[in-house]
């Protein structure tokens, strides 16, 4: 597993705009919370924690937790003028909170990076109030389609994303079962199809060219396979029929 980081602060802001609709859907279960602390775990640059703090101003406070100090520093700077939010550097499986002390927990595109996701699900269960909402947004990496016609190469790319690129590549596929196993209740799931229609966007949001060169370095694809594949992508882009799609899920549950 490489789980090589591809998400700097600029990437997270960029994908934040792209995923705006999904993010808005994921806030909905927290709209009815009347007080207490809401956590955004693996909060990155803090944009969702900030949106939640603004949405719940006067009712709730928000804590963003992430183990990356660069991202936490940016989040702190961006939230400096708000008084119902704070950010803490920490691990999702070791939260500095009492049992049943949180009024809601959200995680977006984080479970895929966890080596031992069960530890985090158990920790979330420990700190949530009874009946409090837990929302998880995840990528379905093996749903990536590039519509090049080179299906064997596409299958190798999906396998690489799932098996090598992240620690827990089937996180989204396993989400409802994981939540049920950890005794969460009222589990619901929705799926959204993300579509990009240019090679430029596929490189911005999915790091396509970078992934292809990593796969050559790791002997998963030959240079010739990548050259043929890239020519197909370029031709589709030039002719105006380039399309890439991938599903993202939002699972909502309560403790």
Ligand X SMILES: C[S@@+](CC[C@H](N)C(=O)[O-])C[C@H]1O[C@@H](n2cnc3c(N)ncnc32)[C@H](O)[C@@H]1O
Site residues for ligand X per CB under 6 A: 7, 12, 16, 42-44, 48, 66-68, 71, 91-92, 108-110, 113-114
Residue 138 C-beta: closest distance to ligand X, Å: 10
CB-nearer residue toward ligand X: 10 or 31: 10
Give the integer Cα–Cα distance in Å for 143 and 166.
Answer: 15
Residue nearer to ligand X on the CB measure, 46 or 229: 46
**Contact present, 226 and 148 (Cβ < 8 Å):** no
Bridge-based pairing of strands 60-66 and 85-89 is: parallel
Place of tokens 């490189």: 203
d(CA 10, CA 188) in angstroms, rounded, equals: 31
Question: CB 67 → ligand X: shortest distance, Å?
Answer: 4
Q: Is 99 helix (H, G, I), strand (E, B) or coil?
A: coil
Q: Which is nearer to ligand X, 87 or 160 (CB)?
A: 87
Q: Residue 88 forms beta bridges with which residues?
A: 65
DSSP 254: E
Written as six digits, the tokens of 249 are 């899920």
> Which of residues 233 and 251 has its CB atom nearest to ligand X in the complex?
251
Tokens of 217: 């370095």
3-state secondary structure of 205: helix
For residues 68 and 214, which CB has a smaller minimum distance to ligand X in the complex? 68
Residue found under tokens 């882009």: 237
- Shortest separation between residue 134's beta carbon and ligand X, angstroms: 14
Q: 54 φ, ψ to 5°?
A: -70, -40
Q: How far is the CB of 229 from ligand X (least distance, A)?
A: 25
The token pair at 113 is 């990076």
For the bound state, the minimum distance from the C-beta of residue 185 to ligand X, rounded and expressed in Å, comes to 24
User: CA 146 to CA 246: how far, in whole Å?
Assistant: 9
State the nearest-atom distance from the C-beta of 76 to ligand X, in Å: 14
If the CB atoms of residues 43 and 102 are measured against ligand X, the closer one turns out to be: 43
């Amino acid at each position: 597993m490489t789980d090589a980081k591809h998400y700097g602060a600029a990437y997270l802001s960029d994908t934040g705009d792209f995923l705006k609709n999904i993010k808005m859907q994921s806030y909905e279960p927290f709209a009815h919370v009347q007080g207490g602390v809401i956590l955004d775990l693996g909060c990155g640059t803090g944009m969702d924690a900030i949106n939640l703090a603004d949405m719940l101003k006067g009712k709730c406070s928000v804590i963003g937790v992430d183990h990356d100090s660069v991202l936490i520093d940016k989040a702190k700077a961006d939230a400096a003028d708000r008084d119902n939010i704070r950010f803490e550097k920490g691990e999702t499986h070791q939260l500095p909170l009492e049992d049943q002390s949180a009024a809601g927990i959200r995680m977006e595109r984080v479970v895929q990076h966890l080596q031992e996701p069960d530890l985090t699900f158990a920790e979330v269960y420990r700190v949530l109030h009874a009946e409090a909402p837990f929302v998880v947004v995840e990528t379905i990496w093996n749903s990536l389609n590039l519509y090049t016609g080179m299906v064997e190469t596409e299958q190798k790319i999906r396998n690489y994303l799932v098996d090598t690129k992240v620690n827990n590549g089937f996180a989204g596929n396993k989400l409802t079962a994981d939540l049920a196993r950890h005794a969460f209740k009222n589990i619901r799931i929705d799926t959204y199809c993300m579509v990009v229609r240019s090679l430029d966007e596929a490189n911005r949001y999915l790091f396509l060219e970078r992934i292809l060169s990593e796969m050559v370095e790791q002997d998963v694809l030959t240079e010739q396979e990548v050259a043929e594949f890239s020519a197909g992508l370029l031709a589709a882009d030039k002719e105006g029929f380039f399309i890439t799609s991938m599903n993202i899920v939002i699972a909502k549950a309560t403790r």
